[in-house]
Amino acid sequence: MLYRHYFSPIFPTRISVDVGFASQVISQPLNLTGYNMTITRKICLVTGCSNGGCGAALAEAFRDAGYHVFATARSPSKIPQSLHSSPNVTVLALNVTSSQSIAALAKEVGMQTGGKLDVLVNNAGLGLSKPALDTTIDEARKLFDLNFFGVLEMTQAFAPMLVRAQGCVVNNSSVGGYMAFPFTSIYNASKAALTLAGDAWRLELEPLGVRVITLITGGISTKFLDNLQSQPVDLPETSFYHAIKNDIQAQEETVPFGVPPEKFAQDVLRQVERGATGKFWVGGAACMTRVLGWVMTEWMADRVALWQKPFTRKLAMVRREEESSKKTE
């Protein structure tokens, strides 16, 4: 059971932590029959390692730092050849929205490492740019399955290995979980959920000797926007936003304030190696977003959001024109 803290509603300062559970998990006998224990390096597992993304850069950074890396992706063929050909990298298939796939991966990694994992990097994720009124519940659930529930299930599946190694969980969240933008509300919500849950998991796993780092990631120059552009914005003609459908589909060609994924990966590696825990703001404009969150009023935050998404003004103009034409009919 992951949840181990009790917060009394009457005495909010009373906290009871089942610390004994840590020793119980660590002392559990481990059946090593059939295990390949030839890997003597520290072990890191990274999800979402497709070419051109943060995951591939993270896998390369940890490999170069002396780790044996398990690089995973839904389609292993999309993982860079430099990782496929490395003797200190094992490439495996993983669908983080599939319980069966996660369980199979945990079994395979356990067999190859003797049942330990030093670093779990939950990087796999996806964006969604679509009006909330036109987002189907199925679309919203699928995004949460990938961006939130997949992270939770990965952490649960690898918890015994992380506890034995006194390891670290790294969750890649986003500044999008702090600032709301029009037409990305479901994505914003999934990242906000991951950020807040990460804070709670950090407290729950600390007595077990496991650190949790939540990356509040800003602009990274990856294929994230290309992936968004490849997702057609399917709006029915009855949608209130149909008139600006093309504007919603069109994304920035480059990430504002984007930093190279290699620099991002080195910054993350540095935090893991120095024993950090908690939130880490990383990437272009991440720290600026943090400061603005402290000083901006809601009105100011709205102006920033509307500046980033100017086509909302176009929608207002279209609506006014429609109302005006109805009155003249």
241 is catalytic: no
SS3 13: coil
From the candidates 101, 173, 190, 221, which is the catalytic residue? Answer: 173
Q: Copy the structure tokens of residue 100.
A: 């069966």
Separation between Cα atoms, residue 129 and residue 193, nearest integer Å: 18
In the set 67, 178, 187, 241, the catalytic residue is 187
CA distance 247 to 264: 30
Buried b or exposed e, range 43-60, using 16+ CB within 10 angstroms: bbbbbbbbbbbbbbbbbb
Tokens of 105: 């991966």
- Do 149 and 142 contact (CB within 8 A), yes or no? no
Nearest to 162 by CA among 214, 130, 117: 117
**In this structure, are strands 15-17 and 5-7 parallel, antiparallel, or unpaired?**
antiparallel
Active-site residue, 3 included: no
Angle at 49 between CA 43 and CA 55, to 5 degrees: 75
Residue 62 in contact with residue 170, Cβ under 8 Å? no
Known catalytic residues?
173, 187
